[in-house]
Amino acid sequence: MLLPHLYFIVGSKHFLNTNPSMLELEVMPERGLSNGQWELTLGMPLIQAIEILRSNYSTIKSVQLSYGEQMPLEQNILLDLTEDGIRLLFDSKYQRLKIIDIYDIRRVKLKYCNSIFSAPGITPTLEIIRQCFGPTRAGDRNIKQQLFLLLFRGIVFVFPLWNTGSSLVSI
H or E stretch including 147? Answer: strand 147-152
The pTM (predicted TM-score) of the whole model is 0.80
SS (H, E, C) 86-120: EEEEECCCCCEEEEEEECCHHHEEEEECCEEEEEC
Question: What are the pLDDT digits (tens) for 60-79?
Answer: 889 999 998 888 788 899 99
Mean per-residue pLDDT over the chain, rounded: 81
Question: What are the pLDDT digits (tens) for 72-123?
Answer: 788 899 999 999 999 999 999 999 999 999 988 889 999 999 899 999 888 8
Does residue 14 surpass a pLDDT of 50? Answer: no
Q: Distance between CA atoms of 129 and 117, rounded to whole angstroms?
A: 7
